[in-house]
Chains A and B, each alone.
Chain A
Amino acid sequence: MLATARQDFRAILDLVGDRSRVLDVGCGEGELLELLVRERRADARGLEISPHGVSACLARGLSVMQGDADRDLADFPTRAFDYVILSQTLQAVLNPRQVLLELLRIGERAIVSLPNFGHWRVRLDLLVHGRMPVTGALPEPWWSTPNIHLCTLRDFIETVAAIDLRIEACFAFVEGRAARAIDPAHPLENWRAESALFLLARRGEP
């Protein structure tokens, strides 16, 4: 999971333009925010649910608000950010569709990464053992996982289309390897990607 997060960060930094306004939803202790400030001179903000995480961010000089994606995104004004980032969190929110819409109300673009439940190892685990899969991208057993809305790449692109959002770019991750640009609609990628990162925009806008 950690390795995946680091891979995420690199790909996210590559997508974010210099001096952008960025909101990191679920920013943890602010590792990504700090990179965005240092390497992209971003005007960066964070939203984090744990008091410990918020405290750690404050000590790093980051502007972070306590809150969760389901409830508190409504507190941000419309189009306040160039990018809103939701890294490996969408599968843990109560209302993923609403959260996606909120991300693209607040931001011009959203960068969303999530584990792919269509990965071959997940499918094989379930097929062979008949148990909820535990893999590198999904390390927790069913009873302690925060992931309540897992989906496959295919599920995700269908949902994105249904709520009038558009995928501008997609990158696949397999543990230990660099991000690879993919066409998420290609059936093979739904087998190969352990997790994926999407750059999303509102449909019908340049």
Chain B
Amino acid sequence: MDDVGDLAPGSAVWSGTWKFGPDTPLVLDCGGEIRDLQIAYTTHGRLDADRSNAILVCHALTLDQYVASSNPVTGRRAWWAAMVGDGRPIDPRRHFIICANVVGGCMGTSGPSSFDPATGRPYGLGFPFITIADMVRAQAMLVEALGIETLFAVVGGSMGGMQVLQWAADYPERLFAAVCIASAARHSAQNIAFHEVGRQAIMADPDWRGGAYASVGVRPEKGLAVARMAAHITYLSESALQRKFGRELQRDGLSWGFDADFQVESYLRHQGASFVDRFDANSYLYITRAMDYFDLGAGRAGGLAEAFARARDVRFCVFSFTSDWLYPTAESRAIVRALNVAGARTSFLEIDTDKGHDAFLLDEPVLSAALGGFLDAAAQERRRP
């Protein structure tokens, strides 16, 4: 393991990679396995003596393990500074915060851009197909390796929320509390449709080279940028987009051409261009596929409620946002309904905002207050004999 080290006493920050040996492969839902699994992760704060203050934060599709510190590779700032940090609901002065790059990712954890030990070249499309459950299984291996028997909480938004639900289904006895924000228990037709647009954009880029672009030394930047542009629209609400840009022009007058006349075009192009600097196209294909395959209630006679049957003692808190049309409130309500059927201790709050799906990443006072209250009360309850 490599160690970036402590930044300040009392709020230790660690960034490293856990390398699992060939004798502990990650067994995958698709029937394959990943040998020599590597998990890149960060931790903030210190594990207390009875190892009861660990919070696992699960990241969304294009995010990474740098939940509360800036990414040393890309220089990008911490993606959840609104929620994780001193004086925030998830506080390194009280909690031991773990965030790991998901399997299939491109920030140090085993993924399609990792080297395949069999060929000595990047996996590319040789990387096995992964699922949300595989991501969670890898996280559970890491948590166990860190010597933590029970997590105080698992918290995540969007795809991170899917991982939270999967944790509750697969490892309920290793969880005290679970927080699922702006997420869903399965991908809808619309969710799959938008992802398919992104994947087709990547695969239509001649530089994709059937997924083997890394061996050739090129990158399908145009395709990945278009994928990001399409996806980014789904993260914002119609009214937020209108309020931010309206029909405002970049310059005086129209260009009578296909340059970015409108500010919204320029904004989206910027989103696409900056995304390709920090994300791998094949990772985007694999992770979006994992999300599309996610359907926690599928194949169970009792549906989604059956998935939570063993999670009765977990304290759940589910949040949604009024203007989120990617994972609308109805999806959260379906989760809550299933949790109620399972008899789990469930709280739910729909937060009124026009900021769309991305509201979970922003400084949203109602979310902060509610999540903080929930975690504090849960911590008190956990200390009670």
Give B352 Cβ to nearest chain A Cβ, in Å: 7
Contact A59 B351 (CB under 8 A): no
Cross-chain contact B348 with A66 (CB below 8 angstroms): yes
Distance to closest chain B CB from A148 (angstroms): 23
Given known contacts A75-B333, A80-B340, is B374 in contact with A58 (CB within 8 Å)? yes
The 6 A-B pairs of least Cβ separation, nearest first, read A59-B373, A61-B377, A65-B348, A58-B374, A58-B373, A63-B345
Question: Which chain A positions have C-beta within 8 A of B374?
Answer: 58-59
A51 within 8 A of B: yes
Residue in contact with A51 in the complex, picked from B336, B366, B376, B381, CB distance below 8 Å = B366
Over the window 236-260 of chain B, the binary record of Cβ atoms lying under 8 Å from chain A Cβ atoms (1 yes, 0 no) is: 0000000000000000000000000
Q: Is A55 within 8 A of B340, CB to CB?
A: no
Q: With an 8 A cutoff between CB atoms, is B370 at the interface?
A: yes
Nearest CB of A to B309, in Å: 13
B337 lies within 8 A of chain A by Cβ: yes
A72 to B381, CA, bound (A): 28
Q: How far is the CB of A135 from chain B (nearest CB, A)?
A: 34
Asked if residues A66 and B317 are in contact (CB atoms below 8 Å), the reply is no
Per a CB cutoff under 8 Å, which of A63, A76, A77 touches B347?
A: A63
Indicate the member of B343, B350, B370, B377 with the most A CB atoms within 10 Å: B370
Within 8 A of A (CB), among B293-348: 315, 317, 333, 336-337, 340-341, 343, 345-348
Judge whether A54 is part of the interface by a CB distance below 8 angstroms.
yes
User: Which chain B positions have C-beta within 8 A of A51?
Assistant: 349-352, 366, 370
Q: Which chain A positions have C-beta within 8 A of B373?
A: 55-56, 58-60
For residue A112, which residues in chain B have a CB less than 8 angstroms away from its CB? none
Chain A interface size range = 20 to 34
Closest to B369 in A: A55
Q: How far is the CA of A63 from the CA of B177 in the complex (A)?
A: 12
Q: Which residues of A contact B352 (CB under 8 A)?
A: 51
Contact A66 B349 (CB under 8 A): yes
Contact B380 A66 (CB under 8 A): no
Number of A-B contacts (CB under 8 A): 65
Q: List 9 A-B contacts (CB under 8 A).
A: A55-B349, A58-B347, A60-B377, A61-B378, A63-B315, A66-B350, A67-B348, A75-B340, A77-B341
Tell whether A90 is near chain B: CB-to-CB under 8 Å.
no
- CB pair A59–B377 under 8 Å, yes or no, is yes
Report whether A63 and B346 are in contact in the complex, using a CB–CB cutoff of 8 Å: yes
| CB closest residue in chain A, given B374 | A58
How many Å lie between the Cα of A51 and that of B348 in the bound state?
10
What would 15 more interface pairs be, CB under 8 Å, given A54-B347, A59-B377, A61-B378? Answer: A45-B345, A58-B349, A58-B370, A59-B373, A60-B373, A61-B377, A61-B380, A63-B315, A63-B347, A65-B348, A67-B348, A72-B333, A75-B333, A80-B341, A80-B343
The answer to whether the Cβ of A12 comes within 8 Å of any Cβ in the partner chain is no
The answer to whether A64 has its CB under 8 Å from any CB of chain B is yes
User: What chain A residues lie within 8 Å of B337 (beta carbons)?
Assistant: 75
B350 touches A76 (CB 8 A): no
Q: How far is the CB of A110 from chain B (nearest CB, A)?
A: 17
- B378 x A54 contact (CB < 8 A): no
Asked if A57 is at the interface of the complex by the 8 Å CB criterion, the answer is yes
Q: In the complex the two chains form, is B377's CB within 8 Å of A58's CB?
A: yes
CB distance from B231 to the nearest CB of A (A): 28
Q: How far does the alpha carbon of A167 sit from the alpha carbon of B186 in the complex, in Å?
A: 43
CB of B375 to closest CB in A, whole Å: 9
Is the CB–CB distance between A54 and B380 below 8 Å?
no
In the complex the two chains form, is B340's CB within 8 Å of A64's CB? Answer: no
C-alpha gap A75/B346 in the complex (Å): 12
Query: Given A55-B370, A58-B317, A77-B341, A65–B377 Cβ distance below 8 Å?
Result: no
Cα(A61)–Cα(B377), bound, Å:
5
The closest CB in chain A to the CB of B318 belongs to: A65
Q: Give CA–CA (A54, B376) in the complex, Å.
A: 15
Minimal Cβ-Cβ distance residue in A for B346: A63
Find residues 39-58 in chain A having any chain B CB closer than 8 Å to their own CB: 45, 51, 54-58
Q: Which B347-385 residues have a C-beta within 8 angstroms of A?
A: 347-352, 366, 369-370, 372-374, 376-378, 380-381
Docked complex Cα distance between A65 and B344 (Å): 12
Which chain B residues lie closer than 8 Å to A62 at the CB level? 347, 377
Q: How far is the CA of A102 from the CA of B313 in the complex (A)?
A: 26
A114 to B336, CA, bound (A): 29
Closest to A44 in B: B345
Instruction: Return chain A residues, CB-CB under 8 Å to B341.
Output: 77, 80
Q: Which residues of A contact B370 (CB under 8 A)?
A: 51, 54-55, 58
Q: How far is the CA of A80 from the CA of B317 in the complex (A)?
A: 19
CA distance A18 to B119 in the complex (A): 66
Q: Which residue of B lies closest to A64 (CB)?
A: B347
Instruction: Across the interface, name the chain B residue whose C-beta is closest to A67.
Output: B348
CA distance A44 to B381 in the complex (A): 15
